Structure 1
Amino acid sequence: MKTTILGLFILFFCAQWSFAQTTEVEQEIIQLSKDKWQWMSDKDVGRLDELFHEKAMFVHMGGAWGTEQELNIIKGGGIWYKKADVHEVSVKIIDNTAILLNRIDLLAEVGGNEVTNPFEVTEVYIKQAGTWKLGSLSFTRLMTRGDH
């Protein structure tokens, strides 16, 4: 009986500990995503150019395009990512690929108009030569109670 109770206690403790832990790699990706939102807000295309893979794809409500066009849109102010309020973050690591999901409210200026939209954002990072590169950034607009 004591062995069973002790075994259950150890199993419960280990399960709680493993659920509470975020790996160093997951934390690195979460921080990289936070940095990316700040660089986008600051229109820091130099830092973003270092982060974005040259073959990255960006999927928005208005279309999809590659790295060069995304950087030009940010630099020119076509989309100004003013502030991303991040509500939830999760990360899954698969070999040299990290998939990060953010649930955010994004305050942006698009074509001179300020808008706020709720999004589920998917970020895919690929580790190459010891460095994480953003391979894909996709915005999925979430429905709110007033939407039909």
Structure 2
Amino acid sequence: MAKVDIQIKGVEALKKRLMEKKQSVDNVLSMMLAELGEKAVTFSKDNKGYKDRTANLKNSISFAIFCDGKLVNKVVGSIPEPDKVKGGQSQVDNILEEYASKDGVVAPKGYTIIVVAGMSYAKHVEDRGYNVLYLTRHYLHNGIKDVCQMIFDLLKEK
């Protein structure tokens, strides 16, 4: 009769190795998504399609990263003239939180990255045909493809 201990040790070793891989993937994903968020904000600022009068809209662009529905990282834009905006700087954080709390925005499983413009008039600017975040969606789509490829390459390693 074969010893069951050998099989259990094999399964336990496999579980341990899989958990190590999962942890390394989670670490890389957290780092890469944060970097992608920062780059997406910079991209948005560099590719604005409107006349920048106060720099509030441009500097209100913020991002957040969620894992399994829980916030793991967020960077809130800092507006230069909060006194000239109803709600001030807190409006920027509130808009990010409001958007993230809408049904279907943050996935209950897996990773979610969101980028928002923290001024209440951002949609009005885009509705008039000027780019605020529209092009950023495409930038993020391509960035996520790159992140996925790097994760696949990481998984192929030993």
TM-score > 0.5, shorter chain as reference:
no
User: TM-score, length-normalised on structure 2?
Assistant: 0.36
User: TM-score, length-normalised on structure 1?
Assistant: 0.38
More relative contact order in 1 or in 2 (CA 8 Å, sep 6+)? 2
Which structure features the higher share of strand residues? 1
Which structure features the higher share of helix residues? 2
